[in-house]
Amino acid sequence: MTTEHATHKHAGAEPATPKEETPTPTPAASFSGAAQFSHGDPIMIPYTPAGAAVAGGQVVVVGTIPMICHRDIAQNALGALAIGGGIYLCKNINNAGNGTKVYWDATNFGVTTTAAGNTTFGCVVEQGAGGANSQCGVFHNPNNGTNP
């Protein structure tokens, strides 16, 4: 007796379904105006955009706090924004090094070491000092910028 039937491929058989792959982080240059969630435990709060829809990855400055949208939110629909926590991939406008407190620059859509006219975003923790306008990982901590 053989076990040939167990390994025999039938004509027209369905191919195995490929496993879903984890998305590769997008380079900063291709997601202008975004803070792409990388990992960690962000704290989410309810948010309803009144003026316009908000795209996933968009930074929304509420008062003086830069908050991050994880999923698209339609205008006047209830969604959520991250108010702190988590590591986000951001454009590093002026080459901040790891351990540096950074601010959200809503004009140039990235993090900067320039405090004037910007809001505290957090602290560079990954890939810092990679060059101007490079991508870096930032711990989102708008309360004081450095300590988790």
Into how many domains does the chain fold? 1
- Is 13 among the domain residues? no
- Is 73 among the domain residues? yes
Q: What angle do CA 35, 36, 40 make, to 5 degrees?
A: 105
Query: Cα separation of 27 and 68, whole Å?
Result: 18
CA terminus-to-terminus distance, the chain: 65
Single out the residue of 110, 94, 93, 111 nearest to residue 102, CA to CA. Answer: 111
- Is the pTM of the predicted complex or chain greater than 0.85? no
pLDDT at 39: 95
Q: Which residue bears the tokens 């991508």?
A: 135
pLDDT at 10: 41
- Is 5 among the domain residues? no
Query: Cα separation of 45 and 82, whole Å?
Result: 6
- Is 12 among the domain residues? no
Single out the residue of 65, 145, 137, 70 nearest to residue 97, CA to CA. Answer: 137
pLDDT at 147: 53
The residue segments making up the domain with residue 79 are 28-140
Residues of the chain with pLDDT under 50: 1-32
Task: Dump pLDDT digits (tens) for 49-79.
Answer: 999 999 999 999 999 999 999 999 999 999 9
